[in-house]
Amino acid sequence: MTSHSRQLISTCASRSELTCAICLQLFDEPLELPCMHNFCQECISRAWADHVGAKRCPECNRTYNREPFVSENLKLANIVQRFKDLEPPMPLVASGCAVCGKQVQKFCLRCAEGCCAAHVPMHIDQERHLLVNAEDVQSWTCLQHGNYKLYHCEEENTVICQQCYLARCVPSHGQAVCDVEVRRNGMRVSGLIWTELVFSAVGSTWVTDM
């Protein structure tokens, strides 16, 4: 595939345009409804199996008195397959601690290094290091760009990578995005304040009841 073809697919077919509205994953054997909306074959079949009689489009709510004719969208299926072929490979987690080679317990998303339980403090003691469980690295990796999700978007209430931030958030709600660690610290502070308020309330009740 030429570089022009790669750029064309990347530009014209963002992941959101190739995502089924039911399962929120890339289309698998997409079927097109008369209203021009597409869904995975299994998804739309399962959705309609739960409704006896009239059928409706899960996206635009158009109602069909009987199950409508749906057609295989082969063109869309081909675009999805090409998009998958262009997706960057998932990053691998090092099998051993970067310091001693022992089994990895935590993984730092900022320096892309694994560490054993004994060397976790080396990352905790340094600013802007983001540690996650080694088995959770894949869920912290953007499927579209292959980058780690280091930002939190309040508007979408999800974690995103830098490329998602620049493409999706900056144009409309960039001010609603912060560093994941900032969000984490904010949640910790909120939790501590809430805990203090609860204990304060319980203590006051205990004193009043005496």
Average of pLDDT values for 63-74?
88
pTM metric for this prediction: 0.45
Choose the weakest-confidence range: 39-48, 64-73, 118-127: 118-127
> Same structural domain for residues 106 and 73?
no
Average of pLDDT values for 49-70?
84
3-state secondary structure 156-185: CCEEECHHHHHHHHHHHHHHHEEEHHHHHH
CATH number for the domain that contains residue 133: 3.30.160
Please count the structural domains in the chain: 3
CATH number for the domain that contains residue 25: 3.30.40.10
What rounded mean pLDDT belongs to the chain? 75
E strand or H helix that includes residue 186: helix 180-209
> Same structural domain for residues 121 and 69?
no
- Render pLDDT for 175-204 as a digit per residue (tens, 0 to 9): 778 887 776 665 544 444 333 444 444 444
> Same structural domain for residues 148 and 196?
yes
- Which has the closest alpha carbon to 77: 112, 40, 43? 40
Domain boundaries, position 189: 142-210
- Render pLDDT for 112-149 as a digit per residue (tens, 0 to 9): 888 898 888 887 767 677 888 888 888 888 887 888 88
